Chains A and B, each alone.
Chain A
Amino acid sequence: MALEITGIAIPSLICIFLFLWGASLFFAAAQSPQGAMAIFVVGKQWMWHLQHPEGPREINQLHIPVDVPVRLTMTSEDVIHDFFVPAFRMKMDVVPGRYTSEWFEATKPGSYHLFCAQYCGTLHSGMTGTIEVMSLTGYAQWLRENSTAESMAQMGLQLFSRLGCDTCHLSDGTGAGPALQGRFGKQVTLRDGQNRVMDGAYVRQSILDPASLPLPNYRPVMPTFRGQVSEEHILQLIAYIKSLASGERTQAP
């Protein structure tokens, strides 16, 4: 009996120790640090689309500076994918219909494998790429060489007028839809009294399924934009709406 109890107690203690150790590291890794550099990822059968907030877009390749925390905001155009960089010990599913995120801070310049780790169909094993970690100056130079005419927010502004969003969402609040200036990150009260924070997921939902988010004082006249905008477009629109909140002026070039 004493032997049995020892045989239960010792592994239990080892397990509790391993569990707490693993869990504490996991919670630390789940919180991205303030001011992390943002990168936006869209997974698609069978490639990775990545975009920097400054505008440059990449496919199956991501250039990032060394020693800078990077936060990925990810979604999928079709099935579930998974953004896996073994060297950075990070992995997160890329799920259609929602935003997931993960962050990392590369400590050594070099080129690292990027894999899709969630089986996603025929060419799943072809859905790979590289993460190019560059020195700070090298990254600044890369960004200059690959700079686009517009930042993500500016691309979002263009979409905003091309899709006709600006005919209702007037900035003075007199339109058929609410003004979006200064709203991102704030609380929104829906018609049924439910409170939501206006974040990326909220904006995405109101673009694709506006009927599910009825607002008091506004008639539900907004049509769905499902099928008209890609996930990448939605990320750009979010970047634009976010830029309206921070007060920074986004001008069409």
Chain B
Amino acid sequence: MFFIGGAAAVMMRLHLIEPAGALVQPETYNKLFTMHGVVMVFFFLIPSIPATLGNFLVPMMIGARDLAFPRLNLLSWYVYITGAAFTLYALISGGVDTGWTFYTPLSSHYLNTHVITTALGVFITGFSSILTGLNFIVTIHKMRAPGMTWKRMPLFLWSIYAASVIFVLATPVLAIALFLVGLERIFHVGIFDPAIGGDPVLFQHLFWFYSHPAVYIMILPGMGVVSELVTCFSKKKPFGYIFIAYSSLAIAVFSFLVWGHHLFVSSQSVYAGFISSALSFALAIPSAIKVFNWTATLYKGSISYQAPMLYALGFIGLFTMGGLTGLFLASLATGVHLHDTYFVIAHFHYIMVGGAVMAYLGGIHFWWPKITGRLYHDGWARFAALVIFVGFNLTFFPQYMLGYLGMPRRYAVYPAEFQVLDVMSSAGASHTRRRLLDSIRLSSLVHPLWTRSRIESLERERPGMGDAIAASHR
């Protein structure tokens, strides 16, 4: 799924090399960004770390043999495949152009593309999220080995636990919102379309009540991975363990209260905007706590720059930047100007790619020997980490400037004055990032690897990688 979403992104960037659009018709462009968003958010970012590292590490880290409900876990995998099949079918049979946000009444009345199929795919996949979340919560509560108290748990588990809470509580709201869109499209029940008595802004409230917490579903597990990596590769105890752990929970709680910051200019009341802005700033604090504690962990540590650590350091830098630019969007006055521009695009890609994807890659590299018993080629992996970091910045940094200058998002054609920055961004996306990176990443991970004998020595170098019980006492 990641490669499908990625291919859509490269096509968009290539298309935007010329102001009038170089590659596709506007309608196709709209389908590309919709597919990119739907696939990346619902089928890659949300399940990425929980479904891979989570399923593997959660039982291991608490000293259990498996998750509490292994069969439920298998079911959630099949549910995910079913949902993905629906969405892929929509993609193959003509695509959908609502944007991943499905805003009404555009999605419920005005478009004739495969809205229902796509929404159904997302709806079904939501159940796999809920099942996985439930499974993690029950496992962490009930199956910890004797002596594995809450405050001895590896930090990764705290973050997975917080993300699971969001999974279980927020996903149903998205399911309901999409269900109502379907109801209005098929049976013309007036829910969102004002022409038949609905309220178009209601959808935005429902959608963001899920989709803002969902941002933290994507980033919290990444924060957990980075907490482990930073601790391991600086050979220190995590600084401020309890603060990192509780800040995960604080993020999960606050994430439910800030959806209104997506609606500053939606015609919601100015007082609703006022409250949302205040709460969004409050949400910045636990994130800042994490960054400070990671930095303090690094301080005077004996740091080794192995590939996973490079990803973790990249995460800290890029996430900090994404977080700080979030303050501009949370602030009411600047938020009005920057809303729905490329500034927003750059901001959430710094969090989602610079944060969640970097952590995912770092985690996969870190635990790869534990999972497969084989080691990747460390030189290539380090090289890939650096290229990703450079290519990522080249792609998305110019988008901050574009957004500040006022280029709106989701534009298939744009005024000529934005071309220089757009070409820079496209160059970053197409050449550095995709071409080199994906191939390098594949070769470094999938390449048949020969050094089984090094695994034993690795266990000494990376205490967090192996036995979790030992790790928790390090």
- Contacts from A to B (Cβ < 8 Å): 3-4, 7-8, 11-12, 15-16, 18-19, 21-23, 25-27, 29-30, 45, 78-80, 82, 84, 86-87, 89-93, 95-98, 100, 113, 115-126, 128, 226
Q: Residue-by-residue, is B257-288 near A (CB-CB < 8 Å gives 1, otherwise 0)? A: 00000000111001001100110011011001
Q: Is the CB of B105 within 8 A of A22?
A: no
Partner of B340, one of A15, A30, A82: A82
Given A117-B408, A118-B340, A125-B411, A3 contacting B332 (CB threshold 8 A)? no
Q: Is the CB of A82 within 8 A of B265?
A: yes
| Residue among B200, B265, B409 having the largest count of chain A Cβ atoms under 10 Å | B265
Given A91-B337, A98-B267, A15 contacting B282 (CB threshold 8 A)? yes
Q: Is the CB of B340 within 8 A of A84?
A: yes
Please give the distance in Å from B203's CB to the nearest CB on chain A: 10
Contact partners of A25 in chain B: CB under 8 A: 332-333
| A124 and chain B: residue at smallest CB distance | B410
Docked complex Cα distance between A12 and B285 (Å): 7
Docked complex Cα distance between A93 and B106 (Å): 14
B305 within 8 A of A: no
Docked complex Cα distance between A95 and B195 (Å): 12
Contact partners of B194 in chain A: CB under 8 A: 95-98
Docked complex Cα distance between A93 and B264 (Å): 9
Partner of A95, one of B26, B201, B414: B201
Contact partners of A82 in chain B: CB under 8 A: 265, 340
Please give the distance in Å from B223's CB to the nearest CB on chain A: 16
B103 within 8 A of A: yes
Partner of B408, one of A19, A78, A116, A226: A116
Contact partners of A91 in chain B: CB under 8 A: 265, 336-337, 339-340
Q: Is the CB of B289 within 8 A of A7?
A: yes
| B341 and chain A: residue at smallest CB distance | A117
Please give the distance in Å from A28's CB to the nearest CB on chain B: 9
Please give the distance in Å from A168's CB to the nearest CB on chain B: 25
B70 within 8 A of A: no
Q: Is the CB of B26 within 8 A of A122?
A: yes
Q: Is the CB of B331 within 8 A of A19?
A: yes
| A84 and chain B: residue at smallest CB distance | B408
Q: Is the CB of A95 within 8 A of B266?
A: yes
Q: Is the CB of B414 within 8 A of A8?
A: no
Given A16-B281, A86-B405, A119-B103, output 11 extra A-B contacts at Cβ < 8 Å: A8-B288, A19-B281, A22-B330, A22-B333, A23-B331, A29-B336, A117-B341, A121-B110, A122-B26, A126-B413, A128-B415
Contact partners of B267 in chain A: CB under 8 A: 92-93, 95, 98, 100
Q: Is the CB of B265 within 8 A of A86?
A: no
Please give the distance in Å from B418's CB to the nearest CB on chain A: 10
B253 within 8 A of A: no
Classify the interface of chain A: helix, strand, loop or mixed. mixed
Given A18-B327, A125-B413, A113 contacting B335 (CB threshold 8 A)? no
Contact partners of B26 in chain A: CB under 8 A: 122-126
Q: Is the CB of B30 within 8 A of A23?
A: no
Q: Residue-by-residue, is B282-325 near A (CB-CB < 8 Å gives 1, otherwise 0)? A: 10110011001100100000000000000000000000000000
Docked complex Cα distance between A105 and B408 (Å): 22
Partner of A125, one of B97, B281, B330, B412: B412
Docked complex Cα distance between A79 and B278 (Å): 30
Please give the distance in Å from B465's CB to the nearest CB on chain A: 28
Contact partners of A93 in chain B: CB under 8 A: 265-267
Q: Is the CB of B195 within 8 A of A97?
A: yes
Q: Residue-by-residue, is B82-113 near A (CB-CB < 8 Å gives 1, otherwise 0)? A: 00000000000000010101010110001100
Q: Is the CB of A95 within 8 A of B200?
A: yes
Docked complex Cα distance between A45 and B27 (Å): 14
Partner of B332, one of A26, A89, A90: A26
B448 within 8 A of A: no
Docked complex Cα distance between A147 and B414 (Å): 33
Q: Is the CB of B277 within 8 A of A96?
A: no
Given A97-B195, A121-B110, A122-B26, A84 contacting B406 (CB threshold 8 A)? yes
Q: Is the CB of A7 within 8 A of B331?
A: no
| A227 and chain B: residue at smallest CB distance | B195
Q: Is the CB of B270 within 8 A of A90?
A: no
| A128 and chain B: residue at smallest CB distance | B415
Q: 10 interchain pairs (CB within 8 A)?
A: A15-B327, A22-B332, A80-B103, A84-B340, A90-B337, A118-B103, A121-B97, A125-B412, A126-B413, A226-B195
Contact partners of A11 in chain B: CB under 8 A: 284-285, 288
Q: Is the CB of A15 within 8 A of B281?
A: yes
Contact partners of B2 in chain A: CB under 8 A: none
Docked complex Cα distance between A122 and B406 (Å): 21
Please give the distance in Å from A241's CB to the nearest CB on chain B: 21
Please give the distance in Å from A151's CB to the nearest CB on chain B: 28
Docked complex Cα distance between A27 and B264 (Å): 12
B451 within 8 A of A: no
Q: Is the CB of A121 within 8 A of B106?
A: yes
Contact partners of A96 in chain B: CB under 8 A: 105, 193-195, 200
Contact partners of B200 in chain A: CB under 8 A: 79-80, 95-97
Q: Is the CB of B408 within 8 A of A115?
A: yes
Please give the distance in Å from A129's CB to the nearest CB on chain B: 11
Contact partners of B331 in chain A: CB under 8 A: 18-19, 21-23
Q: Is the CB of A7 within 8 A of B288?
A: yes
Q: Is the CB of A3 within 8 A of B284?
A: no
Q: Is the CB of A117 within 8 A of B337?
A: no
Please give the distance in Å from B4's CB to the nearest CB on chain A: 21
Partner of A121, one of B111, B270, B289, B337: B111
Docked complex Cα distance between A12 and B281 (Å): 8
Q: Is the CB of A29 within 8 A of B333?
A: yes
B78 within 8 A of A: no
Docked complex Cα distance between A100 and B106 (Å): 18
Please give the distance in Å from B294's CB to the nearest CB on chain A: 12
B243 within 8 A of A: yes
Docked complex Cα distance between A80 and B289 (Å): 38
| Residue among A3, A45, A84, A226 having the largest count of chain B Cβ atoms under 10 Å | A84
Contact partners of A26 in chain B: CB under 8 A: 270, 273-274, 277, 332-333, 336
Q: Kindly list the 8 A-B residue pairs having the minimum CB-CB distance in the complex, ordered from nearest.
A: A86-B406, A97-B194, A22-B331, A26-B332, A25-B333, A125-B411, A15-B281, A7-B292
Partner of B284, one of A7, A15, A22, A29: A15
Docked complex Cα distance between A22 and B410 (Å): 26
Contact partners of B413 in chain A: CB under 8 A: 125-126
Please give the distance in Å from A102's CB to the nearest CB on chain B: 8
Q: Is the CB of B285 within 8 A of A8?
A: yes
